[in-house]
Amino acid sequence: MSDNLEINKREYPSSFSKTAIVICLDGSQKEYLEEASKSNLTPNLDKLISSGENLLVHSAIPSFTNPNNISIVTGQPSSVHGICGNFFYTPETGEEVMMNDPKYMRAPTIFEKFYNSGSKIALVTAKDKLRTLLGNGLSFDDERAICFSAEKSDQATKDLNGIDNVNDWLGMPVPEVYSEGLSEFVMAAGVKLLEEFKPNIMYLSTTDYIQHKYAPGNETANKFYAMFDKYIGLLNQENVSIIITADHGMKPKSKEDGSPNAIFLQDYLDKKFEPNIAKVILPITDPYVVHHGSLGSFATIYLEDKSKVASVVNAIKEIKDIEVVLTKDEGCSTYNLPLDRMGDIICMSSEFMTIGSSEDKHNLSGLNEPLRSHGGLHEREVPFISNLKLQNLDTSKQLYNYDAFYYAINGAL
């Protein structure tokens, strides 16, 4: 009998003695951690790194929350698991829908497979949009699985989440969704679950509200990482294997006057050709528009008339700050995306630019600070921090954030 568990064509040790923990520190490029460390605000993280690893890896593309969280928890890119944005379009029905329903997933999570083999699983996410995807395939009737969000912690039940009365249990009220408190709730819950529930595998996923608003080194940003460091000190015990990574980085995307730096691609194509020749879809779109106003650095374009693809590609290439313009086949092959969930054209903007659809469709009233956003190649470099030295690391291959559980579980042997 094999000592390994095959999950999505990767081999994982089927049993291990330590708790394997992966933390997705949403929106955290390396500069946030470096600046906080320079100010002596992260002594626990610095100590962890000194005995472990501090690497840089790539996220999945697009560098958005949902595709990367699901890549991390399946160990594979979107071409395998199918979640390629927060939001997608179905040309056959004309529907634009959120990708937060498990029916869109095409691969099991690592959690589901280990749960079915007898492991105890604990999952805490900041926003509820991820909860049903992360918990897909788990049962909550045998006290071996817990999965809830900070955002809707007061609605957790034993039947649906494996735990109830979360706020009383943790001694913390439901946090405001647009706050540092949402991420702190996740981290505090992780510490208490490790101590009391003693899971074999735990996943903690924070939110990037702070990173969308504040640059590395900003006092508020530094305060966030000092908070995070406090909980790392409590989690970093002898009997745990920890990997800290991120779903994406974050870059400034505003003009000198503070207004968003955006190319409204739907407006551009409507003027260049004729209205409705193309439909621009922005996979960053989600209900939490205060973060970003649905302006990110990745877009996909659908054309009803496929004979126009080459001319539309050439027209988009004329835009100085759109760096990547590829046909569907080229883009999906290069960035491991599912062909049937991408438009006819895939494009990404330059480092300090975003892509919008039509200017009048974006609600930017919540952007009280200069826009910071993500989605493209410039936000795909993310930290990959381990509390242990990584064994059998193949330096000849590109390492990804979705290698996190492979190394966390192997470190837990």
Strand partners, 54: 385
- The answer to whether the beta carbons of residues 108 and 8 sit under 8 Å apart is yes
**Token pair 């559980």 is at which residue?**
405
Query: 330: Cβ–Cβ under 8 A, 6 or more apart, which residues?
Result: 346
CA distance linking residue 16 with residue 107, whole number of Å = 23
At 287 the pLDDT is: 58
Give tens-digit pLDDT for 96-134: 888 889 999 999 999 999 999 999 999 999 999 899 999
Residue 99: phi and psi, rounded to 5, are -95, 50
Domain boundaries, given as residue ranges, for the chain:
4-250+375-411, 262-372
- The answer to whether the beta carbons of residues 130 and 149 sit under 8 Å apart is yes
- The answer to whether the beta carbons of residues 292 and 371 sit under 8 Å apart is yes
Q: Which two tokens stand for residue 338?
A: 């599912």
Strand partners, 388: none
Residue type, 279: K
CA distance linking residue 276 with residue 47, whole number of Å = 56
H helical segments located in 145-218: 158-161, 166-170, 180-196, 209-213
CA atoms within 13 A on the CB side of 62: 32
DSSP character string of 381-398: EEEEEESSPPTT--TTS-
At 176 the pLDDT is: 96
User: Residue 277: is it exposed, middle or buried by C-beta count within 10 angstroms (0-12/13-18/19+)?
Assistant: middle
**Token pair 């530094």 is at which residue?**
222
- The answer to whether the beta carbons of residues 345 and 316 sit under 8 Å apart is yes
At 140 the pLDDT is: 98
Neighbours of 155 (CB within 10 A): 14
Strand partners, 383: 56
Domain 4-250+375-411 homologous superfamily, CATH: Alkaline Phosphatase, subunit A (3.40.720.10)
Mark the ranges of the chain whose per-residue pLDDT is less than 70.
1-2, 286-292, 365-367
At 288 the pLDDT is: 59
Query: 125: Cβ–Cβ under 8 A, 6 or more apart, which residues?
Result: 69, 131, 134, 148, 149, 150, 186, 204, 205
At 143 the pLDDT is: 97
The SS3 call for residue 290 is coil
Domain 262-372 homologous superfamily, CATH: Domain 2, Phosphonoacetate Hydrolase (3.30.1360.110)
At 237 the pLDDT is: 94
User: In terms of Cα–Cα distance, which of 61, 34, 31, 41 is closest to 372?
Assistant: 31
User: Residue 267: is it exposed, middle or buried by C-beta count within 10 angstroms (0-12/13-18/19+)?
Assistant: middle
Query: 41: Cβ–Cβ under 8 A, 6 or more apart, which residues?
Result: 222, 225, 226, 229
At 290 the pLDDT is: 47
DSSP character string of 222-275: HHHHHHHHHHHHHH--TTEEEEEE-S---EE-B-TTS-B-EEEHHHHHHHHS-T
At 129 the pLDDT is: 87
CA distance linking residue 197 with residue 92, whole number of Å = 46
CA distance linking residue 58 with residue 72, whole number of Å = 12
Q: What is the CA radius of gyration of the chain?
A: 21
At 1 the pLDDT is: 34
At 366 the pLDDT is: 67
At 349 the pLDDT is: 98
